[in-house]
Amino acid sequence: MSFEIIGTYLVGICLLIGAGFALVGTIGLLKFNDSMTRLHAPTKVGTIGIGALLLASMIHSYVVGEGSLHELLIMAFLFVTAPISANFIAKVNIHKQSCDAPPPPPRDDTWSTLNVPEADRELAVEPTPQL
């Protein structure tokens, strides 16, 4: 098998994977009930689908002989901006109170601090280095 045939098969596989992920993301966007669950389908699954489609484009450009790295910039921008935009959309939904708020953290002094509960203090003591 030549490089062109293997590249063509790889492009076809990447296109099928990308289209499948994009289809699942679209179905999830349409089928989920509220905006918070709807948020996960396009940001998680859609990002992987678009990444596979861009990978197919890169492989095709190298098989043809006109290598292109523009797709890497698109992937990097997509992988950076998708989680940030999903976070902002989730915060807007929480502040508008259009969904259930996350549960409050436990009311103790060890949550999100460096304090250690009394029962675990002997486990948390670091041994002093011996010189």
pLDDT for the residue numbered 106: 66
| Triad 119, 102, 37: Cα angle to 5° | 130
pLDDT for the residue numbered 27: 87
d(CA 106, CA 35): 26
pLDDT digits (tens, 9 = 90+) for 13-44: 999 999 999 888 888 888 888 777 778 777 77
- Minimal CA–CA distance to 40: which of 54, 52, 53, 24? 24
Instruction: State yes or no: pLDDT of 112 exceeds 80.
Output: no
Q: pTM to 2 decimals?
A: 0.66
d(CA 89, CA 63): 40
Domains in the chain: boundaries? 3-95
Mean pLDDT of 86-104: 78
